[in-house]
Structure 1
């Protein structure tokens, strides 16, 4: 292929950054905006996090349980990395809330506790946070459909169920999503001026702390102030400069018109972009980011043109992430010009993927961030990109103790 149709120059990336910033502001002011900006009513302590919490992590079809202990630095997790269970059974038609709670309770019973503690519940499905730290389920995704839970809070009924069945009680429950959990995990190091949680794996999303007085859509009766964790739901951003190939991928997806940023960035769709670039070629059915990176890493096995285009798609994904981060950081700086050091907790297999022939994904993001920062006059800002083991267990534990 002569021309890299996926190439974005710095002027285009600057426009994407500005557009992202404007759309986040819109989401903070109005309901149902393109970038939703969902406030989470859990305010973690900036420092002095202490104690133990039980952490539940229900995401996709995996369920994890662990006790996170913050009496030491770094926090310890018992059992190591938590106990894991495959929960594909949740996708069975007619599966009930009672069955789900029983599965969850059975694993919890096996974990030894001496005293009462709070629960942090990392729940990776679309929810709306309610004051007090519970969350209402908006809809199921990922093939799950337990109808009786839709529109209801997910924390309190589970807490009641567990307390009826356990001698040693649980004191309360806080529900947060995986991106907010990554954001909270950064707080284990209090030396930063701002924090961002980022996920670039199968899907993509961002979360950060926003001053309450900048979130115009907040109901005054909630009486919240200070910094509020906000789950951006940034995958739904519609960036400028997408291509005809992106439009094809969008058209054949299950949700046309939605999640356009996610469809250009995340692991679930990068293979589809490559397939749509060569519509007359035969590709295997399952074709995701893992497949894309293996084409780049083992070029001798594949057609040269596939290797080249795979590289373009991979690089563009990382550059789009850098542009959106730049837009978000410009917004944070507009609220607080003293922000110098930012902690970015990055999660996801694509973000930390390796590229044997060229730069790794996280390096492309970092280099492009620096370029865009200098073009926007943000040279005084330093971003630390962190990879943390068990970030969502630690972040959820912090949420529970908030």
Structure 2
């Protein structure tokens, strides 16, 4: 199929020579290393520790609940794992987050999440079940443990100022305590890329070591050696594992990408 001259002219504007792509790749790799050593703001790529020490191997069993908040969509999942070689049973309900909630208060947001969770568990007759809950919170956070995440800034259209610099797990747990009818409790908090990485590792095995999410934003995570995370004090954090999943937050690398793209077009035109 041959594109028309008009289409070719438009596509040509997005063409980047190999040497420019190589320069971007080299600079991004340097930011990765700096992010592991010193973090943000020294590096534009924060390389955030997740406190997740390993990935599933497919032998895990049991029932689990996931709360996944990403953009205007709140997804609640009941996941039943039955062991290696058998597809998990997945029940999913989606709820739309209203604009007023996305730009309201923390109390409004977390009460909304808990009310949706109550409805979801009630429909499945699981309100009294003490199920472990994983909270997938897809926004830049500084984690202090597998159950503690301090919100650094909002993305994906959210702008709730009274949540900034606060532990989102504590905010959610407070809303759960005020509800009283839900027995389930939060066992882990993670970024959506970490959830994707864990799900792929469960299904495909250790060959899967990197996850990329492209949606409202773009991000990635991968399994790193703890010793290479130089900014992370493992002994102080009481972290005794050889590996940890790192959330890159690589979408913040855009300043460098725009610089080299502008440089390319300036030289060309």
Calculate the TM-score normalised by the size of structure 1: 0.55
Deviation at 1:62, TM superposition (A): 1.6
Q: Which residue of 1 aligns with 2:105?
A: 96
Residue 27 of structure 1 deviates from its aligned partner by 0.7
Which structure: greater strand fraction?
A: 2
Q: Distance in 2 between matches of 1:2 and 1:109?
A: 50
Aligned with residue 169 of structure 1, among 163, 183, 193: 183
Contact 1:156 1:173 in 2 (8 A): no
Measured after TM superposition, the shift of residue 177 of structure 1 is 1.7
Give the whole-Å Cα distance in 1 for the aligned partners of 2:164 and 2:178. Answer: 23
Structure-1 residue corresponding to 2:214: 200
Which structure has greater helix proportion? 1
Aligned pairs (5 A) from 1:253-292: none
109 and 2 in structure 1: CA distance in 2 versus 1, 3 angstrom threshold: closer
Matched, 1:243 2:262: yes
CA distance in 1, matches of 2:79, 2:145: 24
Match of 2:134 in 1: 120
Q: What are the superposed Cα offsets for residues 287-325 of structure 1, whole Å, 9 maximum, x if unpaired?
A: xxxxxxxxxxxxxxxxxxxxxxxxxxxxxxxxxxxxxxx
Cα distance change of structure 1 residues 201 and 97 upon mapping to structure 2, 3 Å threshold: closer
- Structure 1 residues 187 and 246, CA, compared in 2 at 3 Å: closer, same or farther? farther
> What's 2:49 paired with?
39
1:370-385 to 2 correspondence within 5 Å?
A: none
The Cα of 1:12 is off from its aligned counterpart by 3.5
How far has the Cα of 1:165 moved from its partner? 2.8
Kept in 1: contact 2:50–2:190 (CA 8 A): yes
Judged with a 3 Å threshold, the aligned counterparts in structure 2 of structure 1 residues 171 and 201 are, in CA distance, closer, same or farther, namely closer
* SS across alignment from 1:189: helix
* 1:29 Cα offset (Å): 0.5
Partner of 2:82: 71
Q: What corresponds to 1:139 in structure 2?
A: 153
Give the C-alpha shift of residue 231 in structure 1.
0.8
Asked if 1:12 is matched to 2:9, the reply is no
Structure 2 residue aligned with 1:280:
none
- The whole-number CA distance in structure 2 between the counterparts of 1:3 and 1:147 is 40
Q: In the aligned structure 2, how far is the partner of 1:102 from the partner of 1:46?
A: 31
Deviation at 1:146, TM superposition (A): 2.6
Q: Which runs of 5+ in 1 are unaligned?
A: 248-276, 278-402
Distance in 2 of aligned mates of 1:196 and 1:96: 34
